[in-house]
Amino acid sequence: MAIDVTKRGGSFLIAETDPNSVFTPEDFTEEQKMFAKTAEDFLHNEVLANLAKTEAQEAGVMVGILKKAGELGLLMIDVPEKYGGLELDKATSMLVSEIVSKGGAFASTFGAHTGIGTLPIVFFGTDEQKQKYLPKLATGEIVGCYALTEAGSGSDALAAKARADLSKDGKHYVLNGEKTFITNGGFADLFIVFAKINGEEFSCFIVEKDFEGVSAGAEEKKMGIKGSSTVQLILDNVKVPVENLLGEKGKGHRIAFNILNVGRFKLGVGCIGGAKLAFDDAVKYANERHQFGVPISSFGMMKNKIANMASGIYVVESMSYRTAGLLDEILSPIDKNAPDASKQTMKGIEEYVTECSIMKVKGSEMLDYVVDEVVQMYGGYGYIAEYPAERHYRDSRIARIYEGTNEINRMLIPGMLIRKAMKGDLPLLEAAKKLQGELLEMPTLDESEPEGLLVEENKLILNVKKIALLTTGVAVQKYMTKLEEQQGVLGDIADIIMEAYGMESARLRTLKLAAAKGEEEAKTAVDMTRLYIYDTVGKVDLWAREVLAACAEGDELRTMLVALRRLTRYTPIDTLHMRLDVADYFIAKEKYEV
């Protein structure tokens, strides 16, 4: 049976997408907007209002804010109704994550509780475990966290040394070991802990704070997100009832990695919130701050930064909510009362693991770019703690490190797609082979002038997709099963794939926006899309050259480079003046609003 590729994760590389089928931030319903309003009010009244206290780690303040979020229903969005939750769609869940992430340290606290601290039970718990813990996690009566990392095992999480041994009477597992960098660990009531049964079978356990032998180390002194709790968790002969084994014995890796997948899409969207707040602060500051007798926002170089930051946010926002829509599309037909509903949900999310990793990497790198430019726009004041730019800069840096470092995610992006292709779930390699044949033929000259909105840009996007296929295909042919060892090649391919998704997501959203509002109204969105695409094609060309040169030589390489040149050729547009227009739009608004 032929595969409907449009319903598969990663299909954006080989299928064309109808703009009307894509979910965009302009599609939020009244109900979703109401939730956003609750989150926005909560952010201002609780999180930002208490920032000085949380940054100083005043005892009880952060946990109090988390519990307040529980009272408002913000912790129960992803919890099934059957267990006291709201079980809302992923778009709402992401929207709330985006908004509360403007709180920096609170974003980590919130994510550790609602995501990695709660979802393992949602997806892998038995009915008894769900009944016992989920209603309390959903309301914030108890706080959750996730303990995977150890001093000797971070990225290589399966090398954990913590162990679990079954007691003689078979009633308990006795846990011993130390976990490092545990978010919420200082005040959590429930720990999702990974340990190896008999030192061999990597498994997952639900551990309560009050179990004898559980203790937390001192708070780490961190670069940023200072208001969040990050501690060591010490397990000293902790007797964990056998019924608290989560999922199957020896299958802890399924929980660890699947939960991180979910965490990644939320982290990506959270980065948008952080970037918007920093952007808004910077644009307001640039209008207020005068040098040489004029606001610094009137200088071309400042405008350049404003336009680039806004385009970056726009692209990540477009790809994130497109992914939210894809997830909702695959998850909404699942019967929530079916006995295997959690399993099906997990499988649905797994379909889009590549997109989730893309969001994590693109979101965190866009955020770091934005906060760095924001510090620059504040000048010396950007370096002074009294001004917000300094905190934005410090708080953002962690996003590239946790939930799988960006290096690990860069390897996963092509790796997961290639695995899918090898399994026959996505006809990527066939498409790559066909493309190689096409590229070797003499091109037919197309002299026609393209007409229509973003038509020329679409050609570039289609070419970037072809480049992604070409480089992936060539790399697989050259290195076969040893491709994993070629991290430079994988990193470049990951970047090309990510940009294909980003450029296309922005274009689809902009077309939809222009169709709804008219081209004139959508002008800034059109400009940002064009800016991003023209800025990125040059980078794609460089990455592709590197990959091809690492995979081929002599005549073969020369032939491929000729083909690549055809794919990356374009007539430049006046991006410099376009940036000024984009910047003027946001300078007038003093905030990121498309």
Ligand X SMILES: Cc1cc2nc3c(=O)[nH]c(=O)nc-3n(C[C@H](O)[C@H](O)[C@H](O)COP(=O)(O)OP(=O)(O)OC[C@H]3O[C@@H](n4cnc5c(N)ncnc54)[C@H](O)[C@@H]3O)c2cc1C
Two tokens, residue 243: 């019924």
CB of 369 to ligand X, least distance (A): 18
Count Cβ atoms below 10 Å from residue 591 Cβ, excluding itself.
12
Residues paired with residue 150 on neighbouring β-strands, in sequence order: 153
Q: Does 155 bind ligand X (CB under 6 A)?
A: yes
Which is nearest to 68 in space by CA: 42, 97, 100, 41? 42
Q: Does 398 bind ligand X (CB under 6 A)?
A: yes
- In the bound state with ligand X, the residue whose beta carbon lies nearer, of 387 and 543, is 543
Residue 182 binds ligand X, judged by CB under 6 A = yes
Distance between CA atoms of residues 204 and 515, nearest Å: 49
Closest residue by Cα to residue 9 from 547, 426, 450, 536:
426
CA distances from 138 to 94, 229, 341 (A): 17, 20, 19
**CA 577 to mean position of chain CA atoms:** 32
Least distance between ligand X and beta carbon 222 (Å): 6
Which residues have C-beta within 8 Å of that of residue 557, sequence separation ≥ 6? 548, 549
Smallest distance from ligand X to CB 145, Å = 6
Question: CA 398 to CA 222: how far, in whole Å?
Answer: 10
Long-range pairs of 328-337 with CB within 8 A, sequence gap ≥ 24 = 328/23, 328/89, 328/90, 328/91, 330/7, 331/89, 331/90, 332/89, 336/80, 336/81, 336/82, 336/87, 337/82
From CA 261, how far away is CA 327, in angstroms rounded? 12
Mark residues 268-297: x for contact with ligand X by CB under 6 A, - for none: ------------------------------
401 binds ligand X (CB under 6 A): yes
Task: Please report whether residue 23 would count as binding ligand X according to CB under 6 A.
Answer: no
> Which region among 33-41, 395-403, 512-520, 583-591 touches ligand X (by CB under 6 A)?
395-403
Each residue 475-514 as x (binds ligand X by CB under 6 A) or -, in order, gives ------------x---------------------------
Tell me, what amino acid is at 260?
L
Mark the segment that binds ligand X (CB under 6 A) among 181-189, 195-203, 359-367, 560-568.
181-189
The question of whether 87 is a catalytic residue gets the answer no
Given 98, 373, 403, 504, the catalytic residue: 403
The minimum distance between CB 164 and ligand X, in angstroms, equals 17
* Exposed e or buried b per residue across 151-171, where buried means at least 16 C-beta atoms within 10 angstroms of its C-beta: eebbeebeebebbbbeeeeee
Give the residue closest to ligand X by C-beta: 154
Site for ligand X in 72-131 (CB under 6 A): 112
Contact region with ligand X (CB under 6 A), list: 97-105, 280-288, 404-412, 581-589: 404-412
146 binds ligand X (CB under 6 A): yes
Segment interacting with ligand X (CB under 6 A) among 60-68, 122-130, 145-153, 237-245: 145-153
Nearer to ligand X, 145 or 513 (CB): 145
Classified as helix, coil or strand, 517 is helix
Phi, psi of 103 (to 5 degrees): -85, 10
- Binding letters toward ligand X, positions 183-222, x by CB under 6 A: x--------------------------------------x
Catalogue the active-site residues: 403
Residues that bind ligand X (CB under 6 A): 112, 145-149, 154-155, 181-183, 222, 230, 398, 401-402, 405, 407-408, 487
